[in-house]
A and B are shown apart, each in its own frame.
Chain A
Amino acid sequence: MSNGTGLDPQQPIVVRNLTKKFGDFVAVDNVSFAVNAGEVFGWLGPNGAGKTTTIRMLLGLLHPTSGSTHVLGLNSATQTKAMHAIVGYMSQQFTLYNDLTAAENIRFYGMVYGLSNRDLRQRQAEIIQMAGLEGREKALTSTLSGGWKQRLALGCAIVHRPKVVFLDEPTAGVDPISRRDFWTLIYAMAKEGVTVLVTTHYMDEAELCQRIGFISQGRLVALDRPGRLKQTQMRGDVLELNVSNPDLAMRILKAAQQSGQLPLDEVALYGAQIHAVVPSAEAYKEVLRALLSTAGIEVRSLERIAPTLEDVFISAVNAPA
Chain B
Amino acid sequence: MLRRIWAITQKEFIQLFRERATLILLLVAPLLQLALFASAIHTDVKHIPMVVADQSVNQASRAYLNAFVQSDYFDIVATVASQADLVTAIDNGQASLGILIPPDFAAQVKLGQAQVLMVVDGSDSYTTNSAYNTANAISQSYAVSLIHHSVTPLTMSVRILYNPDLNQLWFIVPGLLAALVQGLTLGLTALAVVREREVGTIEALLVTPIRPVELMLGKTIPNLVIAFANTTSILAVAVFLFGVPFQGNLLLFASLAIIFAFSGLGLGLVISVASQSQMQAQQLSGMFNFVGMFLAGFLFPAYALPPVLRAIGYIFPMTYFLPIVRGIFTKGVGITAIWGQVAAACGLLVVVLFAAARLFRASLD
Contacts and interface: CB of A to CB of B under 8 A. Distances in A.
Contact of B15 (A87, A91, A97): A97
A91 B14 contact: no
Contacts of B14: 100, 104
A156 B7 CA distance: 14
Given A63-B365, A91-B204, A93-B203, A111 B211 contact: no
A108 interface: yes
Nearest to A116: B3
Contacts of A31: none
A112 B207 CA distance: 11
**Interface residues of chain B: helix, strand, loop or mixed (majority):** helix
Given A84-B208, A112-B7, A114-B3, A62 B365 contact: yes
Given A90-B204, A93-B203, 10 more contacts: A61-B364, A84-B207, A93-B200, A95-B201, A95-B204, A97-B11, A97-B201, A98-B199, A108-B7, A112-B209
B248 to A, nearest CB: 41
A63 B203 CA distance: 16
A28 to B, nearest CB: 15
Contacts of B11: 97, 100, 104, 108
Contacts of B310: none
A59 interface: yes
Interface centre among B4, B8, B203 (most CB of A within 10 A): B203
B20 interface: no
Nearest to B1: A114
Interface string A73-115: 0000000010011010111011111111000100011011110
Residue of A81, A95, A96, A156 with highest tally of chain B CB at under 10 A: A95
29 contacts: A59-B207, A61-B206, A61-B207, A61-B364, A63-B365, A89-B207, A90-B204, A91-B200, A91-B203, A93-B200, A95-B200, A95-B201, A95-B203, A97-B15, A98-B199, A99-B18, A99-B19, A100-B15, A104-B14, A108-B7, A109-B208, A111-B3, A112-B4, A112-B8, A112-B205, A112-B209, A112-B210, A113-B208, A113-B209
B10 interface: yes
Bin the interface of chain B by size.
20 to 34
B6 interface: yes
Interface string B191-215: 0000000011101111111110000
Nearest to B6: A111
Interface in A19-70: 59, 61-63
Nearest to B207: A89
Contacts of A96: 201, 204
Interface of A: 59, 61-63, 81, 84-85, 87, 89-91, 93-100, 104, 108-109, 111-114, 156-157
A89 B15 CA distance: 24
Contacts of B210: 112
Nearest to A63: B365
B207 A87 contact: yes
A245 to B, nearest CB: 46
A81 B209 CA distance: 5
Contacts of A157: 204
B141 to A, nearest CB: 66
Nearest to B16: A99
A84 B10 CA distance: 22
B22 to A, nearest CB: 11
Contacts of B6: 111
B360 to A, nearest CB: 13
B88 to A, nearest CB: 62
Contacts of B203: 91, 93, 95
Given A111-B3, A111-B4, A114-B3, A84 B204 contact: no
Contact of A99 (B10, B15, B206): B15
Contacts of A91: 200, 203-204
Contacts of B206: 61
Contacts of A81: 209, 211
A100 B204 CA distance: 15
A98 B198 CA distance: 13
Given A100-B11, A111-B6, A94 B208 contact: no
Contacts of A98: 199
B365 to A, nearest CB: 7
A89 B4 contact: no
A91 B208 CA distance: 13
Interface in B159-205: 199-201, 203-205
